[in-house]
A = this chain, B = another copy of it.
């Protein structure tokens, strides 16, 4: 069973202790105990502009992103914690 976010929501999984990437090991940056780096797991179709057009989400599945300190909705899938953020609230992404 797969979970598809709706509209411009992005499902992410926060880094664990260390996440090995091609570019080397990324030590997650913590803020009040919360890991702020995450991997995109699923994305919604996008937000709807006033004219009813769909504006796609700006991150893709697999990308490494930097989350804001606050916000996000916890979603439990197969006993693992994921988080839903709005595309517009994701601060940026890491490219190698």
Contacts and interface: CB of A to CB of B under 8 A. Distances in A.
Interface of A: 1-7, 9, 11, 21, 23-24, 26, 29, 42, 44-45, 48-53, 55, 58-59, 66, 68-69, 73, 75-76, 84, 87-88, 90-96
Contact of A6 (B7, B42, B90): B90
Given A6-B58, A6-B59, A50-B49, A1 B93 contact: no
A92 B1 contact: no
Contact of A76 (B6, B29, B76): B29
Nearest to A89: B6
Contact of A68 (B3, B58, B73, B91): B73
